Structure 1
Amino acid sequence: MEIYHLTHAADWDEAQVVDSYEVSTRGATVHQMGFIHCSTAAQLPVVARNVYGSDPAPLVVLVMDDETIRAAGTEVRYEEGGDAGFDELYPHVYGPIDPAWVTGVRPAALDDSGALHW
């Protein structure tokens, strides 16, 4: 199943240099959180509004397949988001993301109404 991770474009650029992506969510690493927050396509707009709504930095969406991640030996669990507006099961990747797992990188932006375009 395809899963998605919304992030700052600069964080993704850095990951390609060091060959490992370790940002869990805005302002926190996988080492601090224990996993990397991901979403389904339907969940991505809620994440964008709640996590990146006030952030002017350029964003990208990383596209991955959860089976590819599991096949590489990294656990993917679908768990409750925990925060207001996150009452569904969200994919969590339990370790750094290997850039080779990323099958697509799409520019993303929030418009003035808070709608995500990617």
Structure 2
Amino acid sequence: MLLHVIPFGAWAEWSAHPGLPYAPPSLAAEGFVHCSPDERAALEIADARYRDVPGPLLVLVVDETLLSGEVRWEGSEDRLFPHVYGPVERSAVTAVLEVLRDADGRARELAPWT
């Protein structure tokens, strides 16, 4: 499973178009969708890149076997991240989690989103 951090606003926009796959700006700009390999990495990304984003932060749980795009593990020798070279089909999203943050906005844990 792959994890992708997404601000609630982006989730709401995507949810408003049920026929479309998820294609964040990074897909057009960089050619891939950034993902994390595990909960620890997703929390680190949420904390480093989205700490000041107001509102809920969500995490898409993606089954990479259900993606039509290629998944490449890229990064440095000591740390690899999965990159999806194509949009994320809705059928590949198996769950949505919420990033729980402390009073200072730091990402602490993932929980089922309701």
Equivalent position of 1:56 in the other structure: 54
Structure 1: unaligned runs, 5 residues or longer: 82-86
Structure 2: unaligned runs, 5 residues or longer: none
Structure-to-structure mapping, 1:1-80, within 5 angstroms? 2-18=1-17, 19-23=20-24, 28-41=25-38, 42-69=40-67, 73-80=68-75
How many residue pairs are counted as aligned between the two chains?
Answer: 105
Provide the secondary structure at the position in 1 that maps to 2:16: helix
Deviations 1:3-36 (A, max 9, x none): 100101221222233222111xxxx331112100
Equivalent position of 1:106 in the other structure: 97
The CA distance in 2 between the partners of 1:20 and 1:77, in whole Å, is 19
Contact between 1:110 and 1:117, CA under 8 Å: does it hold in 2?
A: yes
TM-score after normalising by structure 2: 0.80
* Aligned AA (1:74): G
The CA distance in 2 between the partners of 1:7 and 1:50, in whole Å, is 13
Equivalent position of 1:84 in the other structure: none
Contact between 1:48 and 1:116, CA under 8 Å: does it hold in 2?
A: no
Task: Give the CA RMSD over aligned residues.
Answer: 1.8
Contact between 1:12 and 1:21, CA under 8 Å: does it hold in 2?
A: no
The CA distance in 1 between the partners of 2:55 and 2:107, in whole Å, is 16
Deviations 1:51-89 (A, max 9, x none): 1112123211100111221xxx310001017xxxxx610
